[in-house]
Structure 1
Amino acid sequence: MTPVSIGVLAVSMSVDAFVAALGRGASLRRPGVGFALRTGVIFGLIEAITPLIGWALGMAFSQYVAAVDHWIAFALLGAVGGHMVWQAWRGGAAEDRAPLTLWATVVTAIGTSIDAMAVGVSLAFLEVNILVIAAAIGCTTMLFSSTGILAGRYLGRQFGRLAETLGGCALFALGALILVEHLAG
Protein backbone atom coordinates (compact mmCIF):
# COMPACT_ATOMS: atom_id res chain seq x y z
CA MET A 1 0.00 0.00 0.00
CA THR A 2 1.15 3.52 -0.75
CA PRO A 3 1.46 6.14 1.99
CA VAL A 4 -1.56 7.95 0.53
CA SER A 5 -3.72 4.82 0.62
CA ILE A 6 -2.60 4.12 4.20
CA GLY A 7 -3.53 7.71 5.11
CA VAL A 8 -6.96 7.41 3.50
CA LEU A 9 -7.53 4.12 5.30
CA ALA A 10 -6.44 5.63 8.63
CA VAL A 11 -8.76 8.62 8.25
CA SER A 12 -11.71 6.47 7.20
CA MET A 13 -11.20 4.18 10.19
CA SER A 14 -11.02 7.21 12.54
CA VAL A 15 -14.17 9.08 11.53
CA ASP A 16 -16.50 6.95 13.64
CA ALA A 17 -14.27 7.47 16.69
CA PHE A 18 -14.44 11.22 16.06
CA VAL A 19 -18.25 11.11 15.97
CA ALA A 20 -18.35 9.06 19.17
CA ALA A 21 -15.92 11.40 20.93
CA LEU A 22 -17.84 14.45 19.73
CA GLY A 23 -21.01 13.10 21.29
CA ARG A 24 -19.28 12.11 24.51
CA GLY A 25 -17.52 15.47 24.78
CA ALA A 26 -20.90 17.18 24.51
CA SER A 27 -22.23 15.14 27.43
CA LEU A 28 -19.39 15.75 29.88
CA ARG A 29 -18.62 18.48 32.37
CA ARG A 30 -16.13 20.68 30.58
CA PRO A 31 -13.57 18.02 29.63
CA GLY A 32 -10.04 19.36 29.62
CA VAL A 33 -7.12 18.70 27.30
CA GLY A 34 -5.74 15.99 29.61
CA PHE A 35 -9.04 14.13 29.59
CA ALA A 36 -9.29 14.52 25.82
CA LEU A 37 -5.77 13.14 25.33
CA ARG A 38 -6.41 10.25 27.72
CA THR A 39 -9.59 9.39 25.83
CA GLY A 40 -7.71 9.73 22.55
CA VAL A 41 -5.01 7.32 23.74
CA ILE A 42 -7.65 4.73 24.71
CA PHE A 43 -9.45 5.08 21.37
CA GLY A 44 -6.14 5.09 19.47
CA LEU A 45 -4.73 2.01 21.21
CA ILE A 46 -7.90 0.00 20.71
CA GLU A 47 -8.21 1.16 17.10
CA ALA A 48 -4.58 0.14 16.49
CA ILE A 49 -4.98 -3.26 18.15
CA THR A 50 -8.18 -4.29 16.38
CA PRO A 51 -6.74 -4.47 12.83
CA LEU A 52 -3.91 -6.58 14.26
CA ILE A 53 -6.47 -8.91 15.84
CA GLY A 54 -8.44 -8.92 12.60
CA TRP A 55 -5.32 -9.67 10.60
CA ALA A 56 -4.44 -12.59 12.88
CA LEU A 57 -7.99 -13.89 12.77
CA GLY A 58 -8.07 -13.40 9.01
CA MET A 59 -5.08 -15.64 8.69
CA ALA A 60 -6.95 -18.41 10.51
CA PHE A 61 -10.71 -17.83 10.74
CA SER A 62 -11.83 -15.18 8.25
CA GLN A 63 -15.24 -16.66 7.49
CA TYR A 64 -16.23 -16.72 11.18
CA VAL A 65 -15.21 -13.13 11.98
CA ALA A 66 -16.83 -11.72 8.85
CA ALA A 67 -20.06 -13.48 9.76
CA VAL A 68 -20.58 -11.62 13.06
CA ASP A 69 -18.51 -8.41 13.10
CA HIS A 70 -21.40 -6.25 11.91
CA TRP A 71 -23.71 -7.57 14.64
CA ILE A 72 -21.12 -6.87 17.33
CA ALA A 73 -20.56 -3.32 16.06
CA PHE A 74 -24.31 -2.67 15.85
CA ALA A 75 -24.95 -3.98 19.38
CA LEU A 76 -22.11 -2.00 20.98
CA LEU A 77 -22.71 1.26 19.12
CA GLY A 78 -26.48 0.98 19.45
CA ALA A 79 -26.28 0.39 23.20
CA VAL A 80 -23.85 3.26 23.80
CA GLY A 81 -25.81 5.60 21.50
CA GLY A 82 -29.12 4.67 23.09
CA HIS A 83 -27.68 5.26 26.53
CA MET A 84 -26.44 8.69 25.46
CA VAL A 85 -29.91 9.68 24.23
CA TRP A 86 -31.50 8.34 27.43
CA GLN A 87 -28.92 10.21 29.51
CA ALA A 88 -29.63 13.46 27.64
CA TRP A 89 -33.35 13.35 28.32
CA ARG A 90 -33.61 11.68 31.72
CA GLY A 91 -33.25 14.97 33.52
CA GLY A 92 -30.49 17.15 34.85
CA ALA A 93 -27.93 19.16 32.98
CA ALA A 94 -24.86 17.60 31.43
CA GLU A 95 -22.73 19.48 33.97
CA ASP A 96 -24.41 17.53 36.79
CA ARG A 97 -23.47 14.12 35.41
CA ALA A 98 -20.52 11.98 36.33
CA PRO A 99 -17.59 11.95 33.92
CA LEU A 100 -17.32 9.18 31.36
CA THR A 101 -16.03 6.05 33.06
CA LEU A 102 -13.08 4.07 31.81
CA TRP A 103 -15.38 1.12 31.06
CA ALA A 104 -17.74 3.25 28.96
CA THR A 105 -14.77 4.71 27.08
CA VAL A 106 -13.38 1.24 26.35
CA VAL A 107 -16.78 -0.11 25.22
CA THR A 108 -17.29 2.89 22.94
CA ALA A 109 -13.78 2.50 21.52
CA ILE A 110 -14.37 -1.20 20.87
CA GLY A 111 -17.69 -0.43 19.20
CA THR A 112 -16.12 2.10 16.86
CA SER A 113 -13.15 -0.15 16.05
CA ILE A 114 -14.98 -3.28 14.92
CA ASP A 115 -14.74 -2.04 11.33
CA ALA A 116 -10.95 -1.79 11.75
CA MET A 117 -10.93 -5.45 12.78
CA ALA A 118 -12.83 -6.30 9.61
CA VAL A 119 -10.28 -4.30 7.60
CA GLY A 120 -7.52 -6.25 9.35
CA VAL A 121 -9.17 -9.48 8.22
CA SER A 122 -9.14 -8.29 4.62
CA LEU A 123 -5.53 -7.10 4.91
CA ALA A 124 -4.52 -10.62 5.87
CA PHE A 125 -4.94 -11.55 2.21
CA LEU A 126 -2.72 -8.75 0.91
CA GLU A 127 1.01 -8.26 1.15
CA VAL A 128 1.09 -5.28 3.52
CA ASN A 129 2.99 -4.23 6.59
CA ILE A 130 0.17 -4.58 9.12
CA LEU A 131 2.21 -2.89 11.88
CA VAL A 132 2.61 0.32 9.85
CA ILE A 133 -1.07 0.34 8.95
CA ALA A 134 -2.17 -0.33 12.55
CA ALA A 135 0.10 2.44 13.84
CA ALA A 136 -1.28 4.90 11.27
CA ILE A 137 -4.87 4.01 12.20
CA GLY A 138 -4.12 4.27 15.93
CA CYS A 139 -2.35 7.65 15.71
CA THR A 140 -5.03 9.13 13.46
CA THR A 141 -7.78 7.86 15.75
CA MET A 142 -6.04 9.33 18.79
CA LEU A 143 -5.89 12.73 17.09
CA PHE A 144 -9.50 12.56 15.82
CA SER A 145 -11.02 11.38 19.10
CA SER A 146 -9.09 13.88 21.24
CA THR A 147 -10.24 16.64 18.90
CA GLY A 148 -13.79 15.27 19.04
CA ILE A 149 -13.89 15.43 22.85
CA LEU A 150 -12.75 19.06 22.82
CA ALA A 151 -15.10 20.04 19.98
CA GLY A 152 -17.93 18.29 21.81
CA ARG A 153 -17.13 20.37 24.87
CA TYR A 154 -17.88 23.52 22.88
CA LEU A 155 -20.98 22.03 21.29
CA GLY A 156 -22.18 20.81 24.67
CA ARG A 157 -22.01 24.27 26.12
CA GLN A 158 -23.74 25.78 23.12
CA PHE A 159 -26.38 23.18 22.40
CA GLY A 160 -26.60 20.95 25.53
CA ARG A 161 -29.10 18.13 25.23
CA LEU A 162 -29.45 18.53 21.48
CA ALA A 163 -25.73 17.88 20.91
CA GLU A 164 -25.77 14.86 23.22
CA THR A 165 -28.91 13.50 21.57
CA LEU A 166 -27.42 13.98 18.11
CA GLY A 167 -24.19 12.29 19.23
CA GLY A 168 -26.14 9.30 20.57
CA CYS A 169 -28.25 9.12 17.43
CA ALA A 170 -25.10 9.32 15.31
CA LEU A 171 -23.58 6.37 17.18
CA PHE A 172 -26.76 4.34 16.79
CA ALA A 173 -26.96 5.29 13.10
CA LEU A 174 -23.31 4.35 12.62
CA GLY A 175 -23.98 0.92 14.12
CA ALA A 176 -27.08 0.53 11.95
CA LEU A 177 -25.14 1.59 8.85
CA ILE A 178 -22.45 -1.00 9.54
CA LEU A 179 -25.17 -3.62 9.97
CA VAL A 180 -27.06 -2.63 6.81
CA GLU A 181 -23.88 -2.46 4.71
CA HIS A 182 -22.91 -5.97 5.75
CA LEU A 183 -26.39 -7.43 5.37
CA ALA A 184 -26.90 -5.79 1.96
CA GLY A 185 -23.66 -7.33 0.78
Structure 2
Amino acid sequence: MSPFAVLLLSASMSVDAFAVAVGRGATETRGRMAEALRTGFVFGVVEAITPFLGWLAGIAAAGWVASFDHWLAFALLAAVGLHMIYGAFKVEDETEDAGPKRASLLVLIVTALGTSLDAMAVGLSLAFVDLDLFGILAVSLGVGFTTFLFAVIGMSLGNVIGERLGKVAEVIAGVVLFSIGSMILWEHLTGA
Protein backbone atom coordinates (compact mmCIF):
# COMPACT_ATOMS: atom_id res chain seq x y z
CA MET A 1 0.00 0.00 0.00
CA SER A 2 1.48 3.36 -1.02
CA PRO A 3 2.15 6.12 1.55
CA PHE A 4 -0.44 8.30 -0.22
CA ALA A 5 -3.06 5.56 0.05
CA VAL A 6 -2.26 5.14 3.76
CA LEU A 7 -2.63 8.93 4.22
CA LEU A 8 -6.02 9.00 2.48
CA LEU A 9 -7.22 5.98 4.41
CA SER A 10 -6.02 7.50 7.68
CA ALA A 11 -7.82 10.78 7.04
CA SER A 12 -11.07 9.08 6.05
CA MET A 13 -11.00 6.87 9.15
CA SER A 14 -10.46 9.93 11.38
CA VAL A 15 -13.45 12.01 10.26
CA ASP A 16 -15.91 10.40 12.72
CA ALA A 17 -13.52 11.00 15.60
CA PHE A 18 -13.14 14.63 14.50
CA ALA A 19 -16.92 15.17 14.52
CA VAL A 20 -17.26 13.58 17.96
CA ALA A 21 -14.30 15.59 19.29
CA VAL A 22 -15.91 18.85 18.13
CA GLY A 23 -19.01 17.90 20.10
CA ARG A 24 -16.99 16.91 23.16
CA GLY A 25 -14.95 20.09 22.97
CA ALA A 26 -18.14 22.12 22.90
CA THR A 27 -19.10 20.76 26.31
CA GLU A 28 -15.67 21.04 27.95
CA THR A 29 -15.43 23.86 30.50
CA ARG A 30 -11.92 23.64 32.00
CA GLY A 31 -8.56 22.01 31.34
CA ARG A 32 -9.22 22.29 27.66
CA MET A 33 -5.79 21.45 26.25
CA ALA A 34 -5.27 18.60 28.71
CA GLU A 35 -8.70 17.17 27.85
CA ALA A 36 -8.04 17.64 24.11
CA LEU A 37 -4.78 15.70 24.43
CA ARG A 38 -6.48 13.02 26.57
CA THR A 39 -9.29 12.65 24.05
CA GLY A 40 -6.86 12.60 21.14
CA PHE A 41 -4.72 9.97 22.84
CA VAL A 42 -7.65 7.64 23.65
CA PHE A 43 -9.22 8.04 20.21
CA GLY A 44 -5.83 7.62 18.50
CA VAL A 45 -4.92 4.46 20.42
CA VAL A 46 -8.32 2.85 19.91
CA GLU A 47 -8.38 3.84 16.23
CA ALA A 48 -4.85 2.43 15.74
CA ILE A 49 -5.77 -0.91 17.32
CA THR A 50 -9.05 -1.56 15.51
CA PRO A 51 -7.74 -1.92 11.90
CA PHE A 52 -5.18 -4.41 13.18
CA LEU A 53 -7.88 -6.33 15.07
CA GLY A 54 -10.07 -6.26 11.96
CA TRP A 55 -7.15 -7.57 9.90
CA LEU A 56 -6.62 -10.40 12.39
CA ALA A 57 -10.35 -11.16 12.38
CA GLY A 58 -10.34 -11.21 8.58
CA ILE A 59 -7.55 -13.73 8.61
CA ALA A 60 -9.19 -15.84 11.32
CA ALA A 61 -12.91 -15.69 10.51
CA ALA A 62 -13.89 -14.02 7.26
CA GLY A 63 -17.33 -12.41 7.35
CA TRP A 64 -18.06 -12.92 11.06
CA VAL A 65 -17.28 -9.34 12.16
CA ALA A 66 -19.00 -7.80 9.16
CA SER A 67 -22.27 -9.45 10.15
CA PHE A 68 -22.70 -7.36 13.32
CA ASP A 69 -20.26 -4.43 13.34
CA HIS A 70 -22.88 -1.96 12.12
CA TRP A 71 -25.29 -2.91 14.92
CA LEU A 72 -22.56 -2.58 17.53
CA ALA A 73 -21.45 0.80 16.16
CA PHE A 74 -25.04 2.04 16.15
CA ALA A 75 -25.71 0.82 19.70
CA LEU A 76 -22.54 2.36 21.14
CA LEU A 77 -22.89 5.71 19.37
CA ALA A 78 -26.63 5.98 19.95
CA ALA A 79 -26.26 5.21 23.65
CA VAL A 80 -23.51 7.80 24.15
CA GLY A 81 -25.39 10.35 22.01
CA LEU A 82 -28.65 9.90 23.89
CA HIS A 83 -26.78 10.16 27.19
CA MET A 84 -25.30 13.50 26.06
CA ILE A 85 -28.74 14.80 25.08
CA TYR A 86 -30.15 13.66 28.42
CA GLY A 87 -27.26 15.38 30.22
CA ALA A 88 -28.00 18.65 28.46
CA PHE A 89 -31.60 18.66 29.72
CA LYS A 90 -30.90 17.23 33.16
CA VAL A 91 -31.49 19.75 35.93
CA GLU A 92 -28.23 20.02 37.82
CA ASP A 93 -28.29 19.80 41.58
CA GLU A 94 -26.91 23.05 42.94
CA THR A 95 -25.11 21.17 45.71
CA GLU A 96 -23.05 19.29 43.14
CA ASP A 97 -19.45 20.29 42.61
CA ALA A 98 -19.27 22.96 39.94
CA GLY A 99 -15.93 21.56 38.76
CA PRO A 100 -15.02 20.86 35.17
CA LYS A 101 -17.20 18.65 33.01
CA ARG A 102 -15.04 15.73 32.03
CA ALA A 103 -16.10 12.50 30.45
CA SER A 104 -15.11 9.39 32.35
CA LEU A 105 -12.45 7.24 30.75
CA LEU A 106 -15.04 4.51 30.16
CA VAL A 107 -17.36 6.88 28.25
CA LEU A 108 -14.39 8.13 26.24
CA ILE A 109 -13.31 4.57 25.35
CA VAL A 110 -16.87 3.51 24.43
CA THR A 111 -17.21 6.57 22.20
CA ALA A 112 -13.84 5.86 20.59
CA LEU A 113 -14.87 2.24 19.98
CA GLY A 114 -18.13 3.36 18.40
CA THR A 115 -16.34 5.65 15.96
CA SER A 116 -13.58 3.14 15.18
CA LEU A 117 -15.62 0.12 14.12
CA ASP A 118 -15.44 1.31 10.53
CA ALA A 119 -11.64 1.13 10.86
CA MET A 120 -12.03 -2.44 12.05
CA ALA A 121 -14.11 -3.20 8.97
CA VAL A 122 -11.40 -1.63 6.79
CA GLY A 123 -8.79 -3.80 8.50
CA LEU A 124 -11.01 -6.79 7.85
CA SER A 125 -11.22 -5.95 4.17
CA LEU A 126 -7.44 -5.43 3.98
CA ALA A 127 -6.98 -9.03 5.09
CA PHE A 128 -8.74 -10.10 1.89
CA VAL A 129 -6.31 -8.18 -0.34
CA ASP A 130 -3.35 -9.98 1.24
CA LEU A 131 -1.89 -6.96 3.00
CA ASP A 132 1.10 -8.20 4.99
CA LEU A 133 1.94 -7.52 8.64
CA PHE A 134 4.12 -4.48 7.85
CA GLY A 135 1.39 -3.03 5.65
CA ILE A 136 -1.31 -3.31 8.32
CA LEU A 137 1.04 -1.87 10.94
CA ALA A 138 1.67 1.15 8.68
CA VAL A 139 -2.07 1.59 8.19
CA SER A 140 -2.79 1.21 11.92
CA LEU A 141 -0.12 3.70 12.96
CA GLY A 142 -1.21 6.16 10.26
CA VAL A 143 -4.86 5.94 11.30
CA GLY A 144 -3.97 6.27 14.99
CA PHE A 145 -1.74 9.31 14.53
CA THR A 146 -4.18 11.06 12.18
CA THR A 147 -7.06 10.37 14.56
CA PHE A 148 -5.04 11.84 17.44
CA LEU A 149 -4.46 15.04 15.42
CA PHE A 150 -8.07 15.26 14.21
CA ALA A 151 -9.43 14.72 17.73
CA VAL A 152 -7.18 17.39 19.29
CA ILE A 153 -8.10 19.87 16.54
CA GLY A 154 -11.78 18.93 16.87
CA MET A 155 -11.73 19.45 20.64
CA SER A 156 -10.08 22.85 20.16
CA LEU A 157 -12.67 23.93 17.60
CA GLY A 158 -15.42 22.56 19.82
CA ASN A 159 -14.20 24.70 22.72
CA VAL A 160 -14.77 27.85 20.68
CA ILE A 161 -18.19 26.63 19.62
CA GLY A 162 -19.08 25.56 23.17
CA GLU A 163 -18.36 28.99 24.62
CA ARG A 164 -20.96 30.44 22.31
CA LEU A 165 -23.61 27.71 22.37
CA GLY A 166 -23.42 26.10 25.83
CA LYS A 167 -26.02 23.35 26.37
CA VAL A 168 -27.21 23.61 22.79
CA ALA A 169 -23.77 22.35 21.74
CA GLU A 170 -24.16 19.34 24.01
CA VAL A 171 -27.49 18.48 22.36
CA ILE A 172 -25.92 18.95 18.92
CA ALA A 173 -23.02 16.68 19.89
CA GLY A 174 -25.46 14.00 21.05
CA VAL A 175 -27.46 14.28 17.84
CA VAL A 176 -24.23 14.04 15.80
CA LEU A 177 -23.20 10.85 17.61
CA PHE A 178 -26.64 9.32 17.20
CA SER A 179 -26.65 10.35 13.52
CA ILE A 180 -23.22 8.84 12.85
CA GLY A 181 -24.39 5.58 14.41
CA SER A 182 -27.59 5.69 12.37
CA MET A 183 -25.68 6.38 9.14
CA ILE A 184 -23.36 3.42 9.79
CA LEU A 185 -26.38 1.20 10.36
CA TRP A 186 -28.22 2.58 7.31
CA GLU A 187 -25.21 2.09 5.01
CA HIS A 188 -24.79 -1.51 6.09
CA LEU A 189 -28.49 -2.38 5.89
CA THR A 190 -29.09 -0.74 2.52
CA GLY A 191 -25.70 -1.36 0.95
CA ALA A 192 -25.44 2.37 0.15
Q: Please report the TM-score for the alignment, with normalisation by the length of structure 2.
A: 0.91
RMSD: 1.6
Alignment partner of 1:119 is 2:125: no
* Partner amino acid, structure 2, of 1:78: A
Q: 1:159 aligns with which of 138, 152, 165?
A: 165
Number of the residue aligned with 2:180:
174
Number of the residue aligned with 1:134:
140
Number of the residue aligned with 2:95:
none
* Partner amino acid, structure 2, of 1:80: V
Shift of residue 8 of structure 1? 1.1
Query: Aligned residues: percent identity?
Result: 48
Q: Please report the TM-score for the alignment, with normalisation by the length of structure 1.
A: 0.94
**Are 2:30 and 2:100, in contact at CA under 8 Å, matched by a contact in 1?**
no
1:7-22 map, 5 Å:
7-22=7-22
Number of the residue aligned with 1:143:
149
Shift of residue 32 of structure 1? 2.1
1:1-185 map, 5 Å:
1-92=1-92, 98-128=101-131, 129-185=135-191
* Partner amino acid, structure 2, of 1:11: A
- Higher helix share goes to which structure? 1
What are the Cα deviations for residues 92-136 of structure 1, in whole angstroms up to 9, with x where unaligned?
5xx766311111111111111010000000000123300000000
Q: How far apart, in 2, do the equivalents of 1:101 and 1:60 lie?
A: 33
Which ranges in structure 2 are unaligned for 5 or more consecutive residues? 93-97
Shift of residue 51 of structure 1? 0.4
**Are 1:25 and 1:31, in contact at CA under 8 Å, matched by a contact in 2?**
no
Moved over 3 A (4+): 95-98
Which ranges in structure 1 are unaligned for 5 or more consecutive residues? none
* Partner amino acid, structure 2, of 1:41: F
**Are 2:25 and 2:162, in contact at CA under 8 Å, matched by a contact in 1?**
yes
Q: How far apart, in 1, do the equivalents of 2:85 and 2:31 lie?
A: 19
